[in-house]
């Protein structure tokens, strides 16, 4: 079971391409976590946020190459590059996710009408890369947290980059007002020139068009906010008769990302489908973008908790426990240090999807 769920985390990684395509691709900024898309632990993030004169001096010495790093940060990383024929699908999926997921885990980001003074807080509002437009909230994460700039009246600007609200990287740069907008430079060569258009600062960065807007307060994001709501919901009584039938994936959370509804144009419901049969037997089908893996399960209900044991092709068995909350079976667990939540919904008929013409970015 955990093997399949770990594979599900990989699906979340694939779904996060919409975010990582405009995130930092410099592996040196991941805090030594091997480029993990989930960022670092909360304590490490707090450590990276801590500022000191020594740290700022160090950043200034290294800032000569930062402007180039910022430009490349907006580019699609080599290992997550998007094919031309799938960019439109990704854009559509991103817009769908932005519309379907509530912004209950983020704060700030309220726009401010530009008054002619660039001093203040600015953050990412929109990014256009080829046919793909990223804006709003993607999988529950506000895009504003990915790039944030604080322009100060002493001619310096602090740039903040983060992945999913974790591991914030801060860099001190210089800025000056130009005839068309502002120019951001490091101590060495290279600059990022923003042009003011309709109250937004617009720049070409790494082949993408990046638009930042002035805000009263920076957007923030709590990747664990949804967990509290799940924990506070009391579990309902559960019987074997309640369980028997077809159940499929409704929602999955991992590393601050939420997968729900459609993912890149494919319904998430097809990715995990359980059929619980009488006598404590059943099947589990995992569909990874058209590649289907099936296995047998054994299950039982004890004290309103459903325990599901999955046996893979090697004969290895593992167990997940589910509770019934709001008519969904919910399982929370830690997989390789990553907190995960999966929710499955009972259905009369399994969702189907034709992956024959599906293009995975």
Quickly list DSSP for 329-341: EEEEEEETTEEEE
* Residue 226 in this model has a pLDDT that exceeds 70: no
Query: 143: exposed, middle or buried (C-beta count within 10 Å: 0-12, 13-18, 19+)?
Result: buried
Mean pLDDT across the chain, nearest whole number? 72
Q: What is the pLDDT, as a whole number, of residue 108?
A: 64
Return the closest-CA partner of residue 237 out of 175, 306, 181: 306
Between the two ends of the chain, the Cα-to-Cα distance in Å is 26
The pLDDT, as a whole number, for residue 317 is 72
Task: Report the candidate in 332, 309, 300 with the shortest Cα–Cα distance to residue 235.
Answer: 332
Q: Residue 255: its pLDDT value, please? A: 67
Looking at per-residue pLDDT, the higher value among 77 and 249 belongs to 249
Question: Which pLDDT belongs to residue 301?
Answer: 97
pLDDT value of residue 228: 52
Stretch 285-308: mean pLDDT, rounded?
A: 91
The C-alpha atoms of residue 278 and residue 353 are separated, in whole angstroms, by 27
Give the per-residue pLDDT at 236.
92
Helix (H, G, I), strand (E, B) or coil at 195: strand
Main-chain phi, psi angles of 2, to 5 degrees: -60, -35
The pLDDT value recorded for residue 223 is 64
- Residue 323 near residue 330 (C-beta atoms within 8 A): yes
Q: Are strands 137-138 and 338-347 parallel, antiparallel or unpaired?
A: unpaired
If 0-12 CB within 10 Å is exposed, 13-18 middle and 19+ buried, where does residue 357 land?
Answer: exposed
Which residue is associated with the tokens 């047998």?
296
Which residues, other chains included, contact 89 with Cβ-Cβ below 8 Å and sequence gap of 6+?
264, 265, 359, 361
Q: Which residues contact 357 (CB under 8 A, 6 or more apart)?
A: none
pLDDT surpasses 80 at 240: yes
- Domains in the chain, ordered, with CATH? 43-221 (2.40.128.280)
Lowest mean pLDDT among 95-109, 153-167, 249-263: 95-109
pLDDT at 142: 82
> Would you place residue 79 in the very low, low, confident or very high pLDDT band (cuts 50, 70, 90)?
very low
Q: What is the pLDDT of residues 127-143, one digit of tens each?
A: 888 777 788 876 667 88
17 closest CA partner among 138, 182, 191, 149: 138
pLDDT at 199 over 90: yes
pLDDT of 266 over the 90 cut: no
User: Residue 118: CB partners within 8 Å, gap ≥ 6?
Assistant: 151, 175, 177, 182, 201
Chain centroid to CA 44: 18
Cα distance between residue 28 and residue 188, in whole Å: 20
Please give the pLDDT value at position 136. 80
Q: What's the confidence (pLDDT) of residue 330? A: 94
- The yes-or-no verdict on residue 100 having pLDDT over 70 is no
Cβ atoms within 10 Å, residue 135: 17
Other beta carbons within 10 angstroms of residue 140's beta carbon come to: 25
Phi and psi, residue 164, nearest 5°: 60, 30
Q: So what's the pLDDT on residue 154?
A: 96
Of 304, 290, 294, 285, nearest to 247 by C-alpha is: 285
Dist. CA 136–CA 140, nearest whole Å? 9
- DSSP-derived 3-state class of residue 43: helix
Least confident residue range of 2-11, 167-176, 203-212: 2-11
DSSP 236: B
């Amino acid at each position: 079971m955990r093997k399949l769920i770990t594979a599900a985390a990989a699906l979340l990684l694939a779904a996060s391409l919409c975010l990582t395509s405009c995130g930092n691709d410099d592996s040196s900024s991941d805090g030594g976590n091997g480029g993990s898309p989930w960022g670092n632990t909360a304590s490490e993030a707090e450590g990276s946020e801590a500022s000191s004169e020594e740290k700022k001096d160090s950043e200034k010495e290294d800032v000569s190459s930062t402007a180039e790093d910022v430009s490349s940060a907006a580019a699609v990383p080599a290992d997550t590059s998007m094919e031309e024929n799938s960019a439109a699908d990704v854009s559509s999926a991103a817009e769908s996710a932005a519309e379907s997921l509530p912004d209950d885990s983020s704060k700030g980001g309220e726009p401010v009408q530009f008054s002619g003074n660039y001093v203040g807080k600015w953050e990412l509002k929109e990014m256009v890369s080829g046919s793909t437009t990223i804006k709003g909230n993607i999988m529950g994460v506000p895009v504003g947290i990915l790039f944030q700039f604080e322009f100060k009246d002493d001619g310096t600007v602090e740039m903040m980059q983060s992945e999913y609200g974790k591991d914030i990287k801060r860099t001190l740069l210089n800025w000056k007002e130009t005839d068309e907008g502002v120019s951001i430079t490091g101590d060495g060569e290279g600059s990022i020139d923003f042009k003011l258009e309709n109250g937004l600062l617009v720049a070409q960065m790494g082949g993408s068009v990046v638009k930042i807007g002035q805000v009263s307060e920076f957007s923030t994001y709590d990747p664990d906010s949804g967990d509290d709501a799940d924990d506070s919901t009391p579990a309902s009584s559960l019987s074997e008769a309640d369980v028997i039938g077809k159940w499929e994936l409704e929602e999955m959370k991992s590393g601050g990302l939420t997968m729900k509804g459609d993912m890149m144009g494919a319904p998430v419901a097809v990715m995990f489908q359980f059929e619980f049969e009488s006598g404590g037997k059943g099947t589990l089908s995992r569909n990874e973008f058209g590649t289907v893996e099936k296995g047998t399960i054994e299950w039982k209900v004890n004290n309103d908790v459903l325990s599901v044991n999955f046996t893979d092709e090697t004969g290895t068995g593992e167990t997940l426990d589910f509770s019934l909350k709001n008519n969904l079976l919910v399982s929370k667990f830690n997989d390789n240090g990553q907190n995960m939540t999966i929710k499955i919904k009972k259905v009369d008929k399994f969702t189907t999807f034709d992956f024959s013409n599906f293009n995975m970015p």
